[in-house]
Amino acid sequence: MPKNPDTFIWLAGFAVLSAIVNGLGIFAIVKYRAWAENVKTYFMCFAAGVLISTPLMLALPQAVQKNFYAGFSAAGGFLFMVFSNKLVRSRAKKESLAFGIVVAEGIGIHSFVDGIIYAITFSVSILTGFLSAMGLVVHEFAEGVITYLVFMKAGIEKRTAIISALLIASFTTPAGAFIAYPFMGRLSDSSLGLMLGFVAGVLIYVSASHLLPAANEEEKKHSILAFLAGTLLAVFIVLSKFL
């Protein structure tokens, strides 16, 4: 197991928090649809700022420090996300229920991978885990909103859509974290460096190719300020640790 006894507490806390925030997104879109659709852009922009800053300033340098070839695994993580998302998009050309199932499948896998990212980053250091998890948790709200809307678009009954969204988008992240965590203590520093590099590539992709474009499609007044706020917060936290 990871050496720091506080690691699991932080990991478990953020894993559960991610499920709660995702559930709040689902609740908000059910009860306050107009408000939820309006604020989800700001959540995505803020999360994008955190998630693009963290790997560039902290996760990737730490990964390279542990393994010189971590930059290659970062490129691998980015390309993995490019092709896996391309696969989901190609299969999601179908309409109605088929569309909903395929997109939900992609969201479920994505959320499960989020949990694995928690396990890897917190195993490296609490600071790395905290910054990565903060960005991921914030984007969970928007993900909950989107997941529920996908099911409704597929024509699924409201109660079933709520339960399905919770199972697929909310609970998969803690599951990924708790399943992956026990294996982290068996990894050498070199192997952990490669995995962290892969995660850095995934985080950069999620921010630059997923969150920001989605937010730009629904441009809101001052949304760029939310992005800058996320970036500056990540910069402040990292600098306060090393200065």
Alpha-carbon distance 99 to 70, whole Å? 36
Residue 1 lies inside a defined structural domain of this protein: no
How confident is the model over 169-182, as pLDDT tens digits?
Answer: 899 999 999 999 98
Smallest CA-to-CA distance from 151 within 232, 87, 96, 223 is with 96
**Structure tokens belonging to residue 229:** 């706020």
How confident is the model over 26-66, as pLDDT tens digits?
Answer: 999 999 988 888 888 888 888 888 888 888 888 889 899 99
CA angle 122, 199, 37 (to 5 degrees): 90
| Contact between residue 14 and residue 129 where contact means Cβ atoms under 8 Å apart | yes
Residue 90 lies inside a defined structural domain of this protein: yes
Residue 24 lies inside a defined structural domain of this protein: yes
Residue 2 lies inside a defined structural domain of this protein: no
How many domains are there within the chain?
Answer: 1
Most confident residue range from 10-19, 34-43, 204-213, 224-233: 10-19
Looking at the predicted structure, is the pLDDT value of residue 24 above 50? yes
DSSP-derived 3-state class of residue 187 = coil
Specify whether the backbone of 34 is left (phi greater than 0), alpha (psi in -120 to 50) or beta. Answer: alpha
Residue 129 lies inside a defined structural domain of this protein: yes
Where is 125: in which H helix or E strand?
none
**Section 146-165 average pLDDT:** 83
Could you tell me the residue range of the domain that residue 125 belongs to? 7-242
Q: What is the pTM of this model?
A: 0.75
